[in-house]
Structure 1
């Protein structure tokens, strides 16, 4: 069984012709200037003169993602939005130590009491009126201290710092997502197994026909919400679908990922459906990934193409990939951190169970997608397979950037690519190639994170402490529960 299966034409970095005419992003990829990208960004363009009151919305929902990848929010009446932009909205700092099931852990000493307050500030130039919820607007938020200063637990700020660090070294990054999700009929929940909305041949038009009205609304709403999509199709698993978000700068990419999830849930509700992005919806089935694609450029040239390395890698592009490979176990502790993630990450499911890279190898944790004459040099990117909805998108991207940039700084050289599935190899053969299994327990994942100074420094010691406390709280909650029960407990969190 496969976790994902798609052709080379189905990558996140789609050709310009694959994008919607309205709000299409420039697909020259890293060669595109930031100013040009901003001009083409429909979110930024509409938000520049946004007025929630004039738009007739009732409220503005300010959204952030916690350390479980779960969106949290505050909604302010439209008439109070300007005040929120100036002064923010009060929230508890303990959101940093909410676990996946809304338990609050006090095991992280700096946040060990119920006292305190912080401010949630709308990122005003990202305001969007929600097409699927016309009475509301949506805007991402950043968390600041009560006096307005930087707060070390603000995940968006962590990513912004890593983007700035890369830029200081002359490196520019873009990111895009393949977003997989499961659809079932509303009411098919409870403690039993869900019935997928369609259980037949994968990838065909009949699977799309089963959700025809939903698919139409979703594509229209994503476009109106300023989320440029390359394509949408029925995926491998029963009731599983996928769409690809076009590449953008990392912070915009993470914002769009959160907005896209809101858009999917609203469209599903409108058609009597229920969507789940959970890493696993049903034990034993294929899982949902949010495969993260990144590329890196210098002076407008994509470092992942035009060189003499495998697939056209330049020396610096190879160093970027080698940095990801070096820190992969710690990255995955952030990009696929939940108990459900661990259950999804199985050999042979195309979800990245081992530490290796390959050129267009879909079993590889790091799948290198090279440039082609048809799509051009800007198409080249690296796909991180072990990435899913339980990751905070800002933290996952920050960890990827930190690792890749460190690889460039250190002048690393990647090992030879592996073009087979090493899951069928002997332990001795895997060891000879430097390939090992990615962590299979919470304890192993956290040990990798604790031991990795680069990723810890990128996230900040305060945030890492809170993140670890949350993961340990989740693990304690699952003690004594069988695997199927754990999967069910995550099913509707995402």
Structure 2
């Protein structure tokens, strides 16, 4: 690895690269990084770069909580070791390169709070069971002119939703996104003006889960840089305003055995192990959402009628369902079959989000979990009695409800391990205490530019 890092550093230095972002995401989904000079890359790949262990207990507002016993003092250090094979020169920031990191102890062992290691463990567990996964993100974000304090009153494009006319004024930004994503090794499926205020969406091509999480972080860096170069700012926040449609970062996954997509079925709904995978996600959906949509604005976003997924159910191509099954077809092929998790946003750590989704799905396969019938309607329009009859319940609507769901599910909580689970819960409690003293509008405003 040192040899590869040295060779890359030499080539990058010759091309004018001066430093490398060593990047990770914390337990709030917020990207963090350290820049090392390009000449220090080989040393970083060998020995890592030091960082405080307290990053695991930063809350969303950069306050450090000591509510987790394992990280209850300011003492401690970890080593950030770049994943050299994922090293990229940043097309929109040509003097810089980028690489995700593994977080290790000073002895070089895996640190129990490293989210990337948690995902790698679930992928390895899948391989042990003969399962292979594919994953990809859809990213929604809102655009505003640089210097804006909010998006609703200073939208970066006028709409209409899904219209090519909406993007004419953003032509340079769109061109930069297409160029920079390709140059940074990120494949886009599509890019368009979305439904929300000044909202855009782009979809990343499906890949292996660890690369999908890496790609999500790199995509954010790429989008922010392109926006800055064109006099814009972007918000990935779950909500940009209480009355506006939110930003979901929809997570698509599929599972294979011996090359066969288990979610594909001629009947148009998954059967066998594919049904078990989807049933596993549905069974643990409240606990999953505590990881995949964990912030206080996340709970405000999960409202009926906003295509965000407020109730626990699944449907075939039902965009109100938190679990939307996307079947394969003669036109698209069997590989296209996947499950979209809509209760997912930028406040989720992408590695943890994928790890718990894979774990829940694998548990569903192992248990042959029963999959109820799909729902084609929006249960938000039903009476409480109708929802009760169909077994459709509201997803947790606050941090306390999410925490209760998480701790009640050993299948999900166990993925994190006691140390990381304790830190994650402490961070959520710190966020909730902060939010308790503020209005909903203040909460939304304070999260607008965090991600």
TM-score range, shorter chain: over 0.9
**Is structure 2 residue 417 aligned with structure 1 residue 457?**
no
Deviations 1:396-455 (A, max 9, x none): 000100000000000112000011111111111111111100000110000001111011
**Is structure 2 residue 54 aligned with structure 1 residue 94?**
yes
**2:347 corresponds to:** 390
> Which one is further off, 394-403 or 195-204?
195-204
**Is structure 2 residue 181 aligned with structure 1 residue 241?**
no
Preserved contact between residue 5 and residue 45 of structure 2 (Cα < 8 Å) = no
Assess, with a 3 A threshold, how the Cα gap between structure 1 residues 450 and 425 changes in structure 2: closer, same or farther: same
Q: Secondary structure at the match of 1:461?
A: helix
Consecutive unaligned residues of structure 2, counting only runs of 5 or more, are none
Q: How does 1:294-305 map to 2 (within 5 A)?
A: 294-305=253-264
Aligned partners of 2:198, 2:37: CA distance in 1, in Å? 37
**Is structure 2 residue 180 aligned with structure 1 residue 225?**
no
**Is structure 2 residue 385 aligned with structure 1 residue 428?**
yes
Preserved contact between residue 178 and residue 244 of structure 1 (Cα < 8 Å) = yes
Deviations 1:138-192 (A, max 9, x none): 00001001111111100000000001111110110000111000000001117x9
Preserved contact between residue 6 and residue 42 of structure 2 (Cα < 8 Å) = no
**2:113 corresponds to:** 153
Q: How does 1:23-42 map to 2 (within 5 A)?
A: none
Preserved contact between residue 5 and residue 41 of structure 2 (Cα < 8 Å) = no
Q: How does 1:481-492 map to 2 (within 5 A)?
A: 481-492=438-449
Q: Secondary structure at the match of 2:250?
A: strand
Give the deviation of 1:231 after TM superposition. 1.0
Q: Secondary structure at the match of 2:35?
A: strand
Give the deviation of 1:194 after TM superposition. 4.2
**2:38 corresponds to:** 78
Which of the numbers 285, 293, 302 marks the counterpart of 1:336? Answer: 293
**1:119 corresponds to:** 79
Q: Secondary structure at the match of 1:475?
A: helix
Aligned partners of 1:156, 1:194: CA distance in 2, in Å? 38
Give the deviation of 1:220 after TM superposition. 0.2
Preserved contact between residue 47 and residue 126 of structure 1 (Cα < 8 Å) = no
Give the deviation of 1:306 after TM superposition. 2.8
Aligned partners of 2:444, 2:269: CA distance in 1, in Å? 41
CA-atom RMSD in angstroms: 1.4
Aligned partners of 1:353, 1:126: CA distance in 2, in Å? 36
**Is structure 2 residue 260 aligned with structure 1 residue 314?**
no
**2:336 corresponds to:** 379
Q: State TM-score, norm by structure 1.
A: 0.89
Preserved contact between residue 196 and residue 245 of structure 2 (Cα < 8 Å) = yes
Consecutive unaligned residues of structure 1, counting only runs of 5 or more, are 1-45
Deviations 1:253-300 (A, max 9, x none): 000000000000000000100011000112210110100000001000
**2:170 corresponds to:** 211
Q: Secondary structure at the match of 2:244?
A: coil
Which of the numbers 270, 274, 277 marks the counterpart of 2:229? Answer: 270
Preserved contact between residue 85 and residue 124 of structure 1 (Cα < 8 Å) = yes
Aligned partners of 2:321, 2:159: CA distance in 1, in Å? 27
**1:280 corresponds to:** 239
Q: Secondary structure at the match of 2:204?
A: strand
| 4+ residue segments displaced more than 3 Å | 46-49
Q: Secondary structure at the match of 1:60?
A: strand
**Is structure 2 residue 434 aligned with structure 1 residue 474?**
no
Give the deviation of 1:193 after TM superposition. 5.4
**Is structure 2 residue 101 aligned with structure 1 residue 141?**
yes
**1:172 corresponds to:** 132
Q: State TM-score, norm by structure 2.
A: 0.97
Aligned partners of 1:48, 1:319: CA distance in 2, in Å? 46
Which of the numbers 306, 309, 322 marks the counterpart of 1:365? Answer: 322
Preserved contact between residue 312 and residue 371 of structure 1 (Cα < 8 Å) = no
Preserved contact between residue 184 and residue 194 of structure 1 (Cα < 8 Å) = no
Aligned partners of 2:248, 2:305: CA distance in 1, in Å? 15
**1:440 corresponds to:** 397
Assess, with a 3 A threshold, how the Cα gap between structure 1 residues 161 and 224 changes in structure 2: closer, same or farther: same
Aligned partners of 1:393, 1:194: CA distance in 2, in Å? 30
**Is structure 2 residue 23 aligned with structure 1 residue 66?**
no
Deviations 1:209-247 (A, max 9, x none): 120000001110000000100111000112100110000
Q: Secondary structure at the match of 1:460?
A: helix
Aligned partners of 2:84, 2:407: CA distance in 1, in Å? 35
